[in-house]
Structures are given as structure tokens and as C-alpha cells.
Amino acid sequence: MIAYDLQCSGGHRFEGWFEDSKAFEQQCRQGLIACPVCNDTDVTRIPSTFAIKGIKHAAPAIPPQRRPLSEQEIMARAVMHFVENNFDNVGTDFAKEALKIHYGASEPRNIRGVSTAQEEETLRREGVEFFKVPLPDPSESTPSSSDS
């Protein structure tokens, strides 16, 4: 469990306990977190004064302004969503599965996964068509995926 210091748009401070940061964000988006004083659901996390030596009352945090997404970001998210929902993730077996499909040992289907440079060269030599799309990992890392 994680305890967050929270503040409503009316300036009331209170504490909330959540399983993790994703649980907080999801509940906040759904309007499930409400100020116990005024019932306001416009709630933000604020810095905790617990670990800040010598500060008795921290100034209210100003919530960050969310910038609108660019057209490229919107398109990238749409592509990522489409690939995640319409391609079988075969992980590190991408090259093996692509070759099976190419030679008719497996039913044709959309697949995604990862491959090494050596595996990609083998696929090219065998005439397997594929393309690489860099997809950000939900955990904020940036591995690449190959799709056929």
C-alpha cells in the first residue's frame, strides 16, 4: 500500500491509501477519489512534508499543465493500440514463427515480437516480409517489436 498526500481544488488536504500509483491514477480518472471535506473529485497528489526536514507546511503544489498531444503522438498511440490488439505476441520466437508461417507449417496470422539482427538477416534471405515498428513498453522502457 502507498499513502499519498492529496489536495482538492478547494485547497483541502487529506491522505489516501492505494495499492499502487496505477490504482491511484485509475481511481482519479474515474472520479472515485473525493475530498472528505467538500466532496470535490478534482484531486491531485501533493509533495509530502513527512521527509522534508525543517518544513512545517509545504506550499500547495501546482498541478502540472497537460499539453495537448501532437498529431504524431496520437497516431503513434493508435498504431500501438492496433498492434497490441490485432497481432499475436510471440516474443523472442518471432523469427521461428515467421518462418513457420512463410513455409506453411503454421496458419497465416499477424504476429509481433522481437528478433536479433542475425535472425532478421535469415528472414530476409528466406524471403520473409516483415517490418519493424518501435513500440514503447507500458513500463516506460523502449524495446522494439517486429511485425509480419
CA distance 70 to 58: 34
| Residues 86 and 120 grouped into a single domain | yes
Whole-prediction pTM value? 0.46
| pLDDT tens-digit readout, 59-91 | 566 666 677 878 888 887 888 888 888 888 998
Q: How many domains does the chain have?
A: 2
| Residues 33 and 75 grouped into a single domain | no
- Domain membership flag for residue 59: no
| Residues 37 and 79 grouped into a single domain | no
- Domain membership flag for residue 64: no
- Domain membership flag for residue 90: yes
Is residue 123 exposed (0-12), middle (13-18) or buried (19+ Cβ within 10 Å)? buried
pLDDT score at 141: 37
pLDDT score at 49: 60
CA distance 135 to 69: 17
Q: What is the average pLDDT score of the chain?
A: 80
Cell of 51: 521527509
pLDDT score at 82: 85
- pLDDT above 70 for 98: yes
- pLDDT above 50 for 54: yes
Q: Where are the alpha helices (DSSP H) in the chain?
A: 21-29, 71-86, 94-102, 117-126
